[in-house]
Chains A and B, each alone.
Chain A
Amino acid sequence: AQSVAQPEDQVNVAEGNPLTVKCTYSVSGNPYLFWYVQYPNRGLQFLLKYITGDNLVKGSYGFEAEFNKSQTSFHLKKPSALVSDSALYFCAVRDWTGGRSIPTFGRGTSLIVHP
């Protein structure tokens, strides 16, 4: 069975500082990894993904994530945080079960960027 863990319920960072939102995963095969962002009263929006290739992937709004196979991690990063980055962030992993792709989401991490 697959699983995703986001160990921090909340991350606080000052505007202009770098930010990291942590995600670790467990799958039986090769992972397909995703980050999504949710702004208040909205649906989730896709940010970036790792399927294969370069371990550092770049996504929307200046976000990037680093795939680390040995540590089974896929942390979300941004060099300089903006107040507008404040939102709920979800990590997700896809597993192929019986030929079907079933995504599993973490519980989410609330990012608060202080002015």
Chain B
Amino acid sequence: NAGVTQTPKFRVLKTGQSMTLLCAQDMNHEYMYWYRQDPGMGLRLIHYSVGEGTTAKGEVPDGYNVSRLKKQNFLLGLESAAPSQTSVYFCASTTQSYEQYFGPGTRLTVT
């Protein structure tokens, strides 16, 4: 089992550029999440999904879109990147006993 993987690991964007972060899990989990982590702010939920074809907004959804076309994949999109979106992004999925498995993170810098 690879667990939760994220692509890419690092990325530098210029303001206004777009990109997609890919999260994949091989554990057949229904729930998947995207978080951002900023110093002193802990983890903040961007969007989440309770199953294939469904998505919902979290605490800080503005400027992001997501899609869950396949159960094992959860994509996070930035249509027009802003410096405020410089952060470390984590994807996670949840077991049936409610524990979360996290990916290794994507470090995004927007200049």
Contacts and interface: CB of A to CB of B under 8 A. Distances in A.
A44 B4 CA distance: 11
Main DSSP-derived SS at the B contact region: strand
A44 B103 CA distance: 8
A41 B106 CA distance: 10
B105 A103 contact: no
Interface stretch (B14-22, B61-69, B75-83, B92-100): B92-100
Interface stretch (A15-23, A64-72, A76-84, A105-113): A105-113
Nearest to A32: B98
B102 A45 contact: yes
Interface of B: 4, 31, 33, 35, 40-43, 45, 48, 50, 56, 58, 90, 92, 94, 97-105
